[in-house]
Amino acid sequence: MVLVSGMAVLAGCGGGGSGSSVPALPPSPLSGVISIEANSRVDQDTMNQLGLEGAQVATGTQALPASFVLAGYVSGAAGTYPSASAQCQPFAYAEDAVDEYSVPLAAGETLVLESFGSCLADPELELVVEGAGPLSASVNAGPARYTLTAGDSTEYRVTVRNTGNAPARYILAKSVAFGAEGMAFDWPRYRFIEGEAVVALADDDTVRAAMATPAAEKARALGAGEWLMTMPGNRVRSAQAGPVAEDTLNWIRELRATPGVLSATPNYVVSSQQTGTPVSEPLYTRQWHYDLINGPAAWQLAPGGGAGVNVAVLDSGLLRLPSGAWHPDLDSNVQSRPAYDFVDNDTIPADPGSSVGGDVFHGTHVAGTVAAVVNDAGSGGVAYGAGLVPVRVLGEGGTGSSADLIAAINWLVAGSGGQPYADVVNMSLGGLPRIQDLEDAIAKGVGKGMVFVAAAGNAATSTLSYPAASPNVLAVSAVDGGGQLAGYSNFGSWIDLAAPGGDASRDGNLDGAGDVVWSTSGERDGGVSIAGYRGLQGTSMASPHVAGVLALMKARDPAMNYDKVRVWLQGGQMTDGQARRNDTLGWGVLDAARAVSAAGSGFADTILSASPALVSLSNEGEQSVSVELSVFGDGNVSNLSLGDMPAWIDVTGCQSAPPCALQVTLIKDQLTPDEPARGSIVVNYQVDGASADPLSIPVIGQLVSDEQARNAGRHFVLLVNTEPNEDNLYMAESQVTLDAENGVYSFRFENDDGEEPQQLREVRPGDYYLVAGSDLDGDGIICQPGEACAEYPITGLREVITIEEGQSLSDIRLTTGFSRPTISAASPDILPRPGFQGYQLRAPETQTGPADNRIRMTQ
């Protein structure tokens, strides 16, 4: 190859793949198909188009679907990439300062623009959504994000503008996968009882005052300072008889503005067991740890989620927003409960983050596992209805003093009016030696009916770690997604039971992701706390699972105390351990359903339980799923029948008594393409001849319909040398160029005919990497950030492919897309590629260069 001068043009050659209709083609040494990741789209005027002679910048608006990942090219000026840079090849680039799109947007949806610049520079790009100001994106400044907070659900004109002169590649994307991984999934709106509200009041005087006024007619105590109130009949303003939804909501808004009212919420209708539990929260699909402890069945048995029980979290405090509210997924369970900060000696146990070592928000994470609110956002806690008593004993860097811990426990035990401030105390901390004052404080609490639980510690030893090793504290070791002891977890004769603590280095439940525990967290941005969610691992994460279950148990049995818990534990009624103990898992792995049932006032509930608790179907994922139905309890379950279910699924099976399996199959033609649908399968059944509350299994269905429309831009399929050159570029030896046809690229190389020069698509025997990708900025290199890339057999895990004389490799399959594999616990095989620049295209041998001295990169 000879580069004649500093400019080159990517001249199109059309498809050129194996789609030829010429009969009796000679055998190809290498052929196959490259499929394209769902929702991939490409800008209509990248350098692939603009490089064509006489090409003009597109002036029209490009329409995009509801979900897409689009790669594009913008440049404020035309020019030539500098030849001096190893990362650049001296090819021409065209001016195309603005790309315009038409994007369907609904309130709450987010559009992301990420710029990757080019080998020349990192110009500033602007994302302008119709009706909003410009947002800046560059490699240095990071991506621009636009969320439609309010407004009509319609098509919006979206402009990507390059404010500089240098070219830039970019990704513009809108997907339900953004945000908190599926939070855009919109569950049905909860129904509520018209004319009723659940109201939390500040104190007894306020209750009396509120009841004496016409603000509310009747009140029934629900415990923990909450009251069920009824709207006065004269508040109904609508023409219809009786209260209607809007009147109820107006009344609740007024209640909230009433002095002394801490909170007022509609009295939501619990239409089935699974609605309004952590199963219906957006992050549930990541929370393998709840299934591991049999959480969904426990929530059927304890539908209040531990309401009326207070759990103290002795930790680093909670994330507090500038507004003064706690983390929004914790706030309503914290409000009106006692709180104290023993580090700063005040009544506001806010976690300020760490000045050194980054912000962990450990206490926020732990508290979320105990009792995050079920509110259609984020995640729910094990005891999602319980009250949280935040007590800060860990300060800078997650460390603290035993003196503060002892003072905190004494404060909790003393409580108010002879009642301790908390029923259950979680201590996700450790490392202390035995301290008599600490033992005494805990013993006093146990004497008052409190139950203490603590993290066993992460030192992977059997050395005693207090407070967990205290005889009056439940010591919790940690297991991974497969129920095996986590590699870091402490063990020994002092372990009482095990719970999920996660292990990022393992995928014990084979769900394709590292086994970390997901819960509430946050970050600090410019000194301001921002709520968020995070996956962490440690016995710190195991302990609050137990604390949450203890709260569910306490709600069932108000007389529960440490002695009763030990009896249940050693009788195998709280775990899967069947009353056998070992030094790693103690009495076994926590089973929330068994534990709640044990605390069920002496009678055994019988319920039907589903596994998995949530079904997700897609034409590109699992189209049919088997759901195991099993009986929990000693009653006789009979007369199973299917109730309501969405029209887009078919459910068969379970003709006999459980345990049995339902087969849930997606009916694709009943779904609207590209609109995720949600619904529930309702299973009616009887227990000992009497109707039981039906089992409801949430189902998500999605029909990805864009197979034909997918386009990741013109693709260059290369056989490259297995060693890079001095510029860290892998050079192509053979090359075919393809456009997407019906959503795929079909490629075919030819045998070398021995004649010089070797044609681009001709292959000589040897060892190569087989790669493919787009070159949207026309710099002669594919697979740069912002460009599509495919490697054989798996992107990120390329393997040498050997071409042998006279042999044919056919039906080779690759997948191309704009995303890249990342190094994570879920993909430990992926290695970093420091210095990787991409794959360099091969220009044709040109006997006579074009008159304008340009290289034509054609076939």
Q: Is 669 a binder of another protein (CB under 8 A)?
A: no
ω into residue 123 within 30 of 0, thus cis? no
**How far apart, in Å, do the first and last CA atoms of the chain sit?**
13
Of these, 535, 658, 679, 778, which contacts another protein (CB under 8 A)?
Answer: 535
Q: Is 523 a binder of another protein (CB under 8 A)?
A: yes
- The smaller minimum CB distance to another protein, of residues 55 and 825, is found at 825
Active-site option among 470, 540, 609, 746: 540
Question: Which residues make Cβ contacts (< 8 Å) with residue 24, sequence separation at least 6?
Answer: none
- The smaller minimum CB distance to another protein, of residues 337 and 365, is found at 365
Question: Which residues make Cβ contacts (< 8 Å) with residue 181, sequence separation at least 6?
Answer: 282, 283, 285, 286
SS3 279: helix
Closest distance between another protein and the C-beta of residue 390, in Å? 14
SS3 297: helix
The C-alpha R_g of the chain, in whole angstroms, comes to 31
Q: What is the 3-state secondary structure (H, E, C) of 716-785?
A: EEEEECCCCCCCCCEEEEEEEEECCECCEEEEECEECCCCCCCCCCEECCEEEEEEEECCCCCCCEECCC
ω into residue 467 within 30 of 0, thus cis? yes
Of these, 267, 294, 354, 734, which contacts another protein (CB under 8 A)?
Answer: 354
Place of tokens 């035309």: 78
792 contacts 769 by C-beta, under 8 angstroms: yes
Eight-class DSSP state of 621 = S
Pairing of the two strands 800-803 and 110-117: unpaired
What is each CA distance from 133 to 97, 120, 128, 401, in whole angstroms?
A: 18, 28, 6, 50
Q: Is 75 a binder of another protein (CB under 8 A)?
A: no
Q: Is 141 a binder of another protein (CB under 8 A)?
A: yes
Q: Is 173 a binder of another protein (CB under 8 A)?
A: no
Of these, 834, 847, 848, 851, which contacts another protein (CB under 8 A)?
Answer: 834
Of these, 240, 832, 847, 851, which contacts another protein (CB under 8 A)?
Answer: 832
**Identity (one letter) of the amino acid at 404?**
D
369 contacts 281 by C-beta, under 8 angstroms: no
**Identity (one letter) of the amino acid at 374?**
V
ω into residue 27 within 30 of 0, thus cis? no
743 contacts 709 by C-beta, under 8 angstroms: yes
Active-site option among 291, 315, 480, 507: 315
Of these, 40, 49, 540, 609, which contacts another protein (CB under 8 A)?
Answer: 540
Q: Is 245 a binder of another protein (CB under 8 A)?
A: no
By CB under 8 A, the residues from 107 to 136 that bind another protein are 116-117
* Span interacting with another protein, options 445-453, 533-541, 645-653, 753-761, rule CB under 8 A: 533-541
- The smaller minimum CB distance to another protein, of residues 74 and 302, is found at 74
* Residue 771 bridge partners (DSSP): 718, 791
Closest distance between another protein and the C-beta of residue 527, in Å? 12
Q: Is 28 a binder of another protein (CB under 8 A)?
A: no
Q: Is 360 a binder of another protein (CB under 8 A)?
A: yes
327 contacts 520 by C-beta, under 8 angstroms: yes
Q: Is 287 a binder of another protein (CB under 8 A)?
A: no
**Identity (one letter) of the amino acid at 691?**
S
* Span interacting with another protein, options 174-182, 279-287, 617-625, 833-841, rule CB under 8 A: 833-841
Closest distance between another protein and the C-beta of residue 186, in Å? 27
Q: What is the DSSP string of 330-371?
A: THHHHTTS--EETTTTBS--B----SSS----HHHHHHHHHH
Contacts with another protein by CB under 8 A: the residue count is 64
Closest distance between another protein and the C-beta of residue 711, in Å? 24
Q: Is 95 a binder of another protein (CB under 8 A)?
A: no
Of these, 19, 223, 397, 643, which contacts another protein (CB under 8 A)?
Answer: 397
Of these, 359, 423, 775, 791, which contacts another protein (CB under 8 A)?
Answer: 359
Place of tokens 């060892």: 767
Question: Which residues make Cβ contacts (< 8 Å) with residue 847, sequence separation at least 6?
Answer: 757
ω into residue 612 within 30 of 0, thus cis? yes
Helix (H) or strand (E) run with residue 407 in it: helix 402-414
* Span interacting with another protein, options 181-189, 548-556, 684-692, 827-835, rule CB under 8 A: 827-835
Question: Which residues make Cβ contacts (< 8 Å) with residue 225, sequence separation at least 6?
Answer: 200, 201, 262, 336
Q: Is 525 a binder of another protein (CB under 8 A)?
A: yes
Of these, 27, 151, 357, 571, which contacts another protein (CB under 8 A)?
Answer: 357
Of these, 2, 24, 239, 356, which contacts another protein (CB under 8 A)?
Answer: 356
256 phi, psi to nearest 5 deg: -65, -25
Contact letters for another protein, residues 181-220 (x by CB under 8 A): ----------------------------------------
Phi-psi region of 288 (alpha: psi -120 to 50; beta: other; left: phi over 0): alpha
Pairing of the two strands 497-500 and 473-479: parallel
Q: Is 441 a binder of another protein (CB under 8 A)?
A: no
Closest distance between another protein and the C-beta of residue 823, in Å? 6
Q: Is 82 a binder of another protein (CB under 8 A)?
A: no
Q: Is 315 a binder of another protein (CB under 8 A)?
A: yes
Q: Is 429 a binder of another protein (CB under 8 A)?
A: yes
Q: Is 470 a binder of another protein (CB under 8 A)?
A: no
389 contacts 421 by C-beta, under 8 angstroms: yes
Closest distance between another protein and the C-beta of residue 458, in Å? 4
Q: Is 142 a binder of another protein (CB under 8 A)?
A: yes
Q: Is 428 a binder of another protein (CB under 8 A)?
A: yes
Of these, 113, 137, 391, 405, which contacts another protein (CB under 8 A)?
Answer: 405
- The smaller minimum CB distance to another protein, of residues 365 and 710, is found at 365
Q: Is 437 a binder of another protein (CB under 8 A)?
A: no
Q: Is 432 a binder of another protein (CB under 8 A)?
A: yes
What is each CA distance from 343 to 322, 334, 349, 352, 439, in whole angstroms?
A: 20, 19, 8, 11, 21
Q: Is 836 a binder of another protein (CB under 8 A)?
A: yes
Place of tokens 């407070």: 467
Contact letters for another protein, residues 42-61 (x by CB under 8 A): --------------------
Closest distance between another protein and the C-beta of residue 273, in Å? 33
694 contacts 684 by C-beta, under 8 angstroms: yes
Q: Is 484 a binder of another protein (CB under 8 A)?
A: no
* Span interacting with another protein, options 61-69, 340-348, 538-546, 705-713, rule CB under 8 A: 538-546
Active-site option among 31, 75, 138, 362: 362
Q: Is 835 a binder of another protein (CB under 8 A)?
A: yes
Q: Is 819 a binder of another protein (CB under 8 A)?
A: no
Pairing of the two strands 730-738 and 695-702: unpaired
Q: Is 460 a binder of another protein (CB under 8 A)?
A: yes
Helix (H) or strand (E) run with residue 72 in it: strand 68-75
From CA 615, how far away is CA 645, in angstroms rounded? Answer: 13
- The smaller minimum CB distance to another protein, of residues 372 and 438, is found at 438
Of these, 488, 686, 759, 849, which contacts another protein (CB under 8 A)?
Answer: 488
Whether 365 is catalytic is no
Whether 540 is catalytic is yes
Q: Is 797 a binder of another protein (CB under 8 A)?
A: no
By CB under 8 A, the residues from 375 to 394 that bind another protein are 393-394
Binding site for another protein (CB under 8 A): 116-117, 139-142, 315-316, 354, 356-360, 362, 365, 393-394, 397-402, 405, 428-433, 455-460, 488, 504-505, 514, 516, 523, 525, 534-541, 543, 785, 822-826, 832-836
Active site amino acids? 315, 362, 540
